[in-house]
């Protein structure tokens, strides 16, 4: 509706701190990586230039090795923990966290460029393209150190799906004895039942300490980090982003870059088999330390079509899980299997519905002709936002909003896709 359009635009503008956008005031007072990629899509519905600017400010934080951090701390804000002083990333482009987040940005840039290909945007694409290429190369080396064709995360925060039940097993091996005392800030904004537990936070901080102590060295992380788990979420988003980057390379005539990107795509199309959990009939995480698959179906399992992975052998069982999980909730898509004992309808990535996942899943479904399922996802997203506003995430059973409110990426996907 026009009213919700206006509210969504107002939220993006209120969270715009001057060329970069925060996810929501209080809880997340800095620029977050994949948030900005979705925010740019929202801005671009009414201001293409401002969409580009969001990506450009995000890339200002890029490290020399190509990594684009998950948080950019442009100014210190004591309402967030862990802030810039905890990460040990001085001497970088900007104060930042030490690991990345799902690489959505190239997919966004392709959308923006398709909206307007006039000379000024060709020029801006020329500047942004090599930075995206370097970031993708970083993911394909630092986080796929042995060239298996699947992308690992060294921290649950790097996956963007912080407290997914599939991280519980691998993270349980993290030694938290050196973490010491700390004060969380998130639970002063949001009901603790909607957030990760203290055991999770202890592990988050222990992994962070490992990264800081090795100065975020990719090889040390790949070999020795206490947490190193291949993630279908990042792997599928990366594969989609590689295809989009390839299209941009063609558009620019960047022929030198083509073979490298094509190789990443080919490797992932093979490698993805590693994430297929044959017992479950779904794509899950794979702990690269223990060789053990995650034991639950998550909403990232449904990103295969978005990544262009649609062999019947994968697709049929995946869609069967989708239909089963959707039949258990009022509003989809639940982030974790409602039939699994770890499911919690309000706790962050252990069950709630996330608009950005819905957008990506539905986009992939629509592209392979699964229009009914795609439309159910879109309608559920609309119903949730109409009922509960632009919340961070939603309870799939009650439809209540959860986490932060006046949330940028929920507003952005409303404008770009749901409305
Ligand atoms: C948080 O602070 O909860 C964020 O999700 C970390 O990226």
Phi, psi of 24 (to 5 degrees): -165, 150
Global confidence as pTM: 0.98
Predicted confidence (pLDDT) per residue in 6-36, tens digit: 999 999 999 999 999 999 999 999 999 999 9
Could you list the beta-strand ranges (E) of 252-332: 276-277, 282-283, 286-287
Predicted confidence (pLDDT) per residue in 131-164, tens digit: 999 999 999 999 999 999 999 999 999 999 999 9
208 alpha carbon – ligand 1 mean position (Å): 13
203 alpha carbon – ligand 1 mean position (Å): 13
Predicted confidence (pLDDT) per residue in 282-334, tens digit: 999 999 999 999 999 999 999 999 999 999 999 999 999 999 999 999 999 99
**Of residues 277, 302, 304, 307, the one with CA closest to residue 292:** 277
The C-alpha angle with vertex 366 and arms to 363 and 367, in degrees rounded to 5, equals: 85
Predicted confidence (pLDDT) per residue in 71-129, tens digit: 999 988 999 999 999 999 978 989 999 999 999 999 999 999 999 999 999 999 999 99
Which pLDDT value is given to residue 119? 98
Q: Is 157 in the pocket of ligand 1 (CB under 6 A)?
A: yes
Q: Is 87 in the pocket of ligand 1 (CB under 6 A)?
A: no
Catalytic residue from among 162, 337, 370, 395 = 162
**253, 128 Cβ separation under 8 angstroms:** no
Could you list the beta-strand ranges (E) of 132-230: 152-153, 229-230
Helix (H, G, I), strand (E, B) or coil at 18: coil
Helix or strand run (H / E) with residue 198: helix 198-213
Which pLDDT value is given to residue 9? 98
| ipTM for this model | 0.93
296, 298, 304, 305 alpha-carbon torsion, rounded to 10°:
130
**Of residues 249, 208, 248, the one with CA closest to residue 226:** 208
Which pLDDT value is given to residue 322? 98
Find the farthest-apart pair of alpha carbons in the chain and give their distance in angstroms, rounded: 56
Helix (H, G, I), strand (E, B) or coil at 336: strand
Q: Is 158 in the pocket of ligand 1 (CB under 6 A)?
A: no
Q: How far is CA 163 from CA 167, 218, 271, 273, in A?
A: 7, 23, 25, 24
Matching residue, tokens 């060295």: 217
The residue contributing the CA closest to ligand 1 atom 7 is 157
Which pLDDT value is given to residue 310? 94
Chain centroid to CA 338: how far? 21
Which pLDDT value is given to residue 90? 79
CATH topology of domain 2-418: Glycosyltransferase (1.50.10)
Beta-bridge partners for 346? none
Q: Is 162 in the pocket of ligand 1 (CB under 6 A)?
A: yes
Matching residue, tokens 């590693």: 274
Spatial distance between the Cα atoms of 22 and 409, rounded to a whole number of angstroms: 10
Spatial distance between the Cα atoms of 157 and 321, rounded to a whole number of angstroms: 26
Matching residue, tokens 């091996």: 173
Average pLDDT over residues 222-240: 98
The residue contributing the CA closest to ligand 1 atom 4 is 157
Is residue 56 among the annotated active site residues?
A: no
Spatial distance between the Cα atoms of 251 and 110, rounded to a whole number of angstroms: 10
Beta-bridge partners for 152? 230
157 alpha carbon – ligand 1 mean position (Å): 6
Spatial distance between the Cα atoms of 214 and 231, rounded to a whole number of angstroms: 23
410 alpha carbon – ligand 1 mean position (Å): 16
114 alpha carbon – ligand 1 mean position (Å): 31
Predicted confidence (pLDDT) per residue in 349-368, tens digit: 999 999 999 999 999 999 99
Question: Is 235 exposed, middle or buried, given 0-12, 13-18 or 19+ CB atoms closer than 10 A?
Answer: buried
For the chain, give the percent of residues with pLDDT over 90. Answer: 98
Question: Is 64 exposed, middle or buried, given 0-12, 13-18 or 19+ CB atoms closer than 10 A?
Answer: exposed
Mean pLDDT, the chain, rounded, equals 97
Is residue 162 among the annotated active site residues?
A: yes
Catalytic residue from among 144, 244, 380, 392 = 392
**Of residues 278, 279, 269, the one with CA closest to residue 235:** 269
The residue contributing the CA closest to ligand 1 atom 6 is 157
Which pLDDT value is given to residue 149? 98
**Mutate-to-test residue for ligand 1 from 35, 80, 157, highest number of ligand atoms within 8 A of CB:** 157
**Ligand 1 atom with least separation from CA of 101:** 7
């Amino acid at each position: 509706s026009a009213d919700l359009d206006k509210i969504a635009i107002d939220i993006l503008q209120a969270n715009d701190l001057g060329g970069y956008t925060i996810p929501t005031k209080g809880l997340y007072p800095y620029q977050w990586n994949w948030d900005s990629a979705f925010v740019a899509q929202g801005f671009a519905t009414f201001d293409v230039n401002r969409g580009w600017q969001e990506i450009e400010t995000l890339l200002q934080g890029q490290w020399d090795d190509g990594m684009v951090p998950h948080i950019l701390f442009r100014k210190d804000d004591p309402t967030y923990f862990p802030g810039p002083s905890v990460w040990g990333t001085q001497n970088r482009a900007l104060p930042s966290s030490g690991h990345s987040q799902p690489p959505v940005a190239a997919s966004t840039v392709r959308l923006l460029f398709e909206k307007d290909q006039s000379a000024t945007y060709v020029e801006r694409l020329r500047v942004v393209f090599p930075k995206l290429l370097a970031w993708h190369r970083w993911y394909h080396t630092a986080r796929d150190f042995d060239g298996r064709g699947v992308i690992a995360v060294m921290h649950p925060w790097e996956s963007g799906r912080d407290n997914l039940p599939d991280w519980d097993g691998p993270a349980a091996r993290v030694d938290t004895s050196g973490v010491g005392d700390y004060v969380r800030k998130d639970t002063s904004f949001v009901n603790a039942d909607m957030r990760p537990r203290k055991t999770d936070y202890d592990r988050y901080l222990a992994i962070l300490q490992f990264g800081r102590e090795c100065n975020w060295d990719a090889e040390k992380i790949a070999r020795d980090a206490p947490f190193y788990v291949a993630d279908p979420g990042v792997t599928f988003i990366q594969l989609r982003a590689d295809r989009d980057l390839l299209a941009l390379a063609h558009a620019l005539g960047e022929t030198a870059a083509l073979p490298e990107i094509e190789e990443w795509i080919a490797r992932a199309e093979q490698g993805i088999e590693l994430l297929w959990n044959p017992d479950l009939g779904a794509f899950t995480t794979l702990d690269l330390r223990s060789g053990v698959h995650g034991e639950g179906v998550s909403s990232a399992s449904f990103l295969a079509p978005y990544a262009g992975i649609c062999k019947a052998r994968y697709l049929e069982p995946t869609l069967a899980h989708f239909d089963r999980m959707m039949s258990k909730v009022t509003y989809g898509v639940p982030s974790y299997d409602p039939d699994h004992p770890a499911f919690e309808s309000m706790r962050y990535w252990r069950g709630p519905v996330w608009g950005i996942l819905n957008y990506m899943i539905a986009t992939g479904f629509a592209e392979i002709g699964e229009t009914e399922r795609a439309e159910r996802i879109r309608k559920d997203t609309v119903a949730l936002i109409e009922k509960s506003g632009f919340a961070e995430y939603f309870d799939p059973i009650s439809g209540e909003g959860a986490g932060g409110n006046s949330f940028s990426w929920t507003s952005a996907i409303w404008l770009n896709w749901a409305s």
